[in-house]
Amino acid sequence: MPDVTGGPAGARRPGDAARISGLEIRPDRRGLRDFPPVSYPAPDGRCHEIRRGDYTFEVGLDGAVRRIHSRRPDWPEPGGYLRCGLAHRWVYRSPALYGETFALTGRHYLPHVLAGDRWTGWDPWAGPALHEAIRAWDEAAALAAELAPSVSEPALAALLRRVGAHGRAGLERRARRLRRILRAPLPVLPPECARVDYAVLPVILAEGCPSECRFCRFRTGAAFRRRPLEDVRAQAEGLRDLLGPELVNFASVFLGQNDALAAGAAAVVEAAEAVREVLRPREAYHRRPRLFLFADPAAFLQLDDAALEALGALPFEGIHVNVGLESPDPETLARLGKALYPEAAAEVLRRAEAVNRAPGPLEVGLNFLVGSGLPDRHHRRLEAILTAPGRPVPKGAVYLAPLDWPPGSFRELRRTVLSLKARSAWPVFLYPVEPV
Ligand code: SF4
Average pLDDT score, the chain: 91
Q: Which atom from ligand 1 is nearest to the alpha carbon of 296?
A: 1
Q: Considering the entire predicted model, what is its pTM? A: 0.93
Q: Give the closest residue (by CA) to ligand 1 atom 1.
A: 211
Q: In this predicted model, what pLDDT tens digit does every residue of 250-269 receive, in sequence order? A: 999 999 999 999 999 999 99
What does the pLDDT read at residue 118?
76
Distance CA 209, CA 220 (A): 8
What does the pLDDT read at residue 3?
57
Ligand 1 centroid from CA 368, angstroms: 12
Confidence of residue 232 (pLDDT cuts 50, 70, 90): very high
What does the pLDDT read at residue 24?
96
Mean per-residue pLDDT, 321-343: 88
Q: In this predicted model, what pLDDT tens digit does every residue of 378-418 receive, in sequence order? A: 999 999 999 887 778 889 999 999 888 888 788 888 899 99
In this predicted structure, the answer to whether residue 104 has a pLDDT above a threshold of 70 is: yes
Q: Which atom from ligand 1 is nearest to the alpha carbon of 338?
A: 6
Q: Give the closest residue (by CA) to ligand 1 atom 3.
A: 258
In this predicted structure, the answer to whether residue 210 has a pLDDT above a threshold of 90 is: no
Residues 6 or more apart whose CB falls under 8 angstroms from that of 359 comprise: none
Distance CA 354, CA 368 (A): 19
Tell which wins on pLDDT, 90 or 44.
90
What value, to the nearest 5°, has the Cα angle with vertex 161 and ends 155 and 162?
A: 90
Q: Give the closest residue (by CA) to ligand 1 atom 7.
A: 216
Ligand 1 centroid from CA 295, angstroms: 9
In this predicted structure, the answer to whether residue 277 has a pLDDT above a threshold of 90 is: yes
Task: Go through the domains of the chain in sequence order and give each one's CATH number.
Answer: 4-164 (no CATH), 183-430 (3.20.20.70)
Q: Are 269 and 304 in contact (CB under 8 A)?
A: no
